[in-house]
Structure 1
Amino acid sequence: MIRNFLFSLFFFLGIVLISIIFLPAILLPKKIVLFGGKIMGFWTSLCLKIFLSTKIIIKGRENIIRGKKFFIAASHQSMFETFFLQTIFNSPVFILKKELLMIPIFGWYLKKIGSISIKRNKISKENLGFFDDISKQVKLSERPLIIFPQGTRLSAEDRTPFKKGSGRIYEELNIPCQPIAINSGNTWPKHGWKKINTTLTVSILKPIEPGLSKEIFTKELEKTIYTELDTLS
């Protein structure tokens, strides 16, 4: 309980402090703000290691797509992957809930780094242009897009079918997908106490090349990630 308290205290204090330090960067080039995001990623892993004695393993670096455009599809069990994946990849472009952009300071950062927002479960003028925004971002940037095909944070045991939107994005972009399985929920569950002395694994899996139908892709992606998660649990 004490270690959980210390982790939460120092983690959030650190995130707030980094946000304040980099606040002037809102008016400066985007790369400075992106550097602040990487620092948040390293701070997240440092807090896990120090306060929760978490061992973090990065598996499958040889599978990382290099030299061409791609997008990332990662499992989502905690806040860990939101921060930490920025330290492995070139500052991914996040797809997120519209409401997150309304958060003071933090929302400003998200806008500055080019995050793409969507109003969930709503048909709006903004949502109708969602895939156009994604295609434009991918064409103009060397940063990979990142999606969480489960749609929201789930427990480590949850095997909810992936959202159909991941298949639509794959079809629209026509570029390779980098699947990633992360068992962060075993350490940092969505609800309840965080676990001590665990191994948190980021498993970078073999790419799924373009050319499949969106339905087959979604099933293949789901099978690939959930099969890996089952081995990590």
Structure 2
Amino acid sequence: MAYAVQWVRSLAFTLVMYGGMAVIGLGLFPYTLMSRHGALRVAKLWCRFTLWAARWMIGLRTEVRGEVPTGEVLIASKHQSFLDIIVLFDAVPNGKFIMKRELLFTPVVGQYATRIGCVPVDRGKRGAAIAKMLREAAASNQTYPGQLIIFPQGTRVAPGVKADYKVGAALLHRQLKQPCIPAATNVGYFWPRTGVYRKSGLAVVEFLPVIPADVNKTEYLPMLEQVVETASERLLQEARDAAD
């Protein structure tokens, strides 16, 4: 019975979340045409609305730990569900993402992604896609300075599941010559990659100690994977312990 009730609450929350995206995103879209700052403010408004709705509708709270990056840095984050995107974007002042090119054609999302300076990647073209990503990321940093967020595994990965860290993240770190802030999370324990059901509890995104800009490519990727996976496992165990 408790599962059924939470499932219904989760469904209602999902409808409210996407309904809010349509109302806020479309209603305030003219404001985004004025400046990137306008687009950021509107997108953050929807993120905060969604996090607020999650708290009271499904009992899902969120917490950001660690020092939140504010300068021009690369953020390399664990990616488990839509929730970590929302929390990361809400936390940093000028966030933008390395994202799948297909998302540019998603109503509302695509228009805002373009306005805030997200960098689209065609994942099917491998070498050519990486080269284009590097060029567009450099151009985006010139036009839209801020925090560039990449998911180094390239896709959502469920908690506890192993997946390779892609070389594109290392190449991006080397080209941009910026410090990298790793980020760990346990959000997938509460908000899975697929399905309607959402658990109540405390979902965490944690910013970890900086990886300097001068770390070489061969050291960077193993270092990034070790710190992000270790911290994400710790946060997953924390969520499980709290549920017991």
TM-score, length basis structure 1: 0.91
Contact 2:165 2:225 in 1 (8 A): yes
* CA distance, structure 2, for counterparts of residue 207 and residue 141 of structure 1: 22
Pick one of 129, 133, 138 that aligns with 2:136: 133
Q: 1:204 aligns with which of 196, 204, 207?
A: 207
Name the CA distance, whole Å, in 2 between partners of 1:166 and 1:75.
12
Residue 38 (str. 1) matches residue 44 (str. 2): yes
Distance 1:147 1:123, change over 3 A: closer
Q: 1:212: Cα distance to partner?
A: 1.7
- Distance 1:161-1:125 versus aligned 2 partners, 3 A rule: closer
Q: Which residue of 1 is the match for residue 241 of structure 2? A: none
Q: Structure 1 residue aligned with 2:16, among 10, 16, 21? A: 10
Is 1:48 the counterpart of 2:64? The answer is no
Alignment match, 1:23: 29
- Is the contact between residue 44 and residue 80 of structure 1 (CA under 8 Å) also seen in structure 2? no
Q: Which amino acid aligns with 1:142?
A: P
Structure-1 residue corresponding to 2:124: 121
Contact between 1:41 and 1:85, CA under 8 Å: does it hold in 2? no
Residue 90 (structure 1) aligns with: 93
Post-superposition CA distance 1:40-71 (Å, at most 9, x none): 2112211221122123222113xx345x4211
Partner amino acid, structure 1, of 2:90: T
Give yes or no for contact 2:64–2:205 (8 Å, CA) kept in 1.
yes
1:77 aligned to 2:80? yes
Which structure 2 residue ranges, 5 or more long, are not aligned? 1-6, 237-244
2:176 is the counterpart of 1:173: yes
SS in 1 for 2:175: helix
Q: How far has the Cα of 1:123 moved from its partner?
A: 5.5
Q: Determine helix, strand or coil for the equivalent of 1:161.
A: coil
Following superposition, the deviation at residue 106 of structure 1 comes to 2.8
Equivalent residue pairs, number? 230
Q: Given the alignment, which residue of 151, 154, 166 partners 2:154?
A: 151
Judged with a 3 Å threshold, the aligned counterparts in structure 2 of structure 1 residues 109 and 193 are, in CA distance, closer, same or farther, namely: closer
Give the gaps of 5 or more residues in structure 1: none
For 2:220 and 2:186, locate their aligned partners in 1 and report how far apart those are by CA, in whole Å.
Answer: 22
Structure 1 vs Structure 2 CA RMSD: 1.9
CA distance 1:33–1:153, change in 2 (3 Å):
same
Moved more, 75-84 or 129-138: 129-138
Instruction: Choose between structure 1 and 2: higher helix proportion.
Output: 2
- What is the deviation of 1:6? 1.4
Distance across 1 between alignment mates of 2:26 and 2:183: 31
* DSSP 3-state at the match of 1:58: strand
How far residue 111 of structure 1 moved from its aligned partner, in angstroms, is: 1.4
- DSSP 3-state at the match of 1:95: strand
Q: In structure 2, how many angstroms separate the alpha carbons of the residues matched to 1:81 and 1:204?
A: 12
**SS of aligned partner of 1:129:** helix
After TM superposition, which residue ranges in structure 1, 4 or more long, deviate above 6 angstroms?
none
Range with bigger deviation, 46-55 or 146-155: 46-55
Cα distance change of structure 1 residues 165 and 126 upon mapping to structure 2, 3 Å threshold:
closer
Q: Distance in 2 between matches of 1:216 and 1:5?
A: 44
Q: Would the aligned equivalents of 2:21 and 2:108 in 1 still touch at CA under 8 Å?
A: no
